[in-house]
């Protein structure tokens, strides 16, 4: 796997899938580009889009927040912003 400081676009898809799995994400069985993640107090749906990861956060208060993160960000930066929650 490329270094965590490398932009995500330098990672082969199998490495991105391994990384998401290691973070506790689960792939959607109906849509292979969609992943789910649960944490205390919030959940997230991640969509591997053409040029970015689109994240839909759902909080325990029922509010939904959408954020988009470009693949030009490093894996370590994406890990911090995606998995820290909404």
DSSP state letter for 78: H
Our CA angle for 75, 76, 82, nearest 5°, is 80
pLDDT band with cut points at 50, 70 and 90 for residue 13:
very high
d(CA 39, CA 32): 21
The 10s digit of each residue's pLDDT in 30-80 is 999 999 999 988 999 999 999 999 999 997 777 899 999 999 999 999 999
**HSE value, Cβ hemisphere, 13 Å, CA-based, for 3:** 2
pLDDT at 41: 83
The 10s digit of each residue's pLDDT in 19-33 is 999 999 999 999 999
Element (H, E) at 56: strand 52-59
């Amino acid at each position: 796997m490329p270094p965590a400081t490398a932009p995500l676009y330098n990672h082969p898809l199998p490495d991105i899938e391994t990384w998401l799995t290691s973070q506790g994400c689960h792939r959607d069985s109906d849509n292979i580009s969609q992943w789910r993640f649960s944490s205390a107090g919030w959940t997230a749906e991640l969509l591997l889009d053409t040029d970015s990861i689109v994240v839909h956060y759902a909080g325990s208060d029922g509010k939904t927040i959408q954020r988009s993160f470009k693949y030009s960000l490093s894996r370590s930066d994406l890990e911090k912003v995606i998995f820290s929650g909404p």
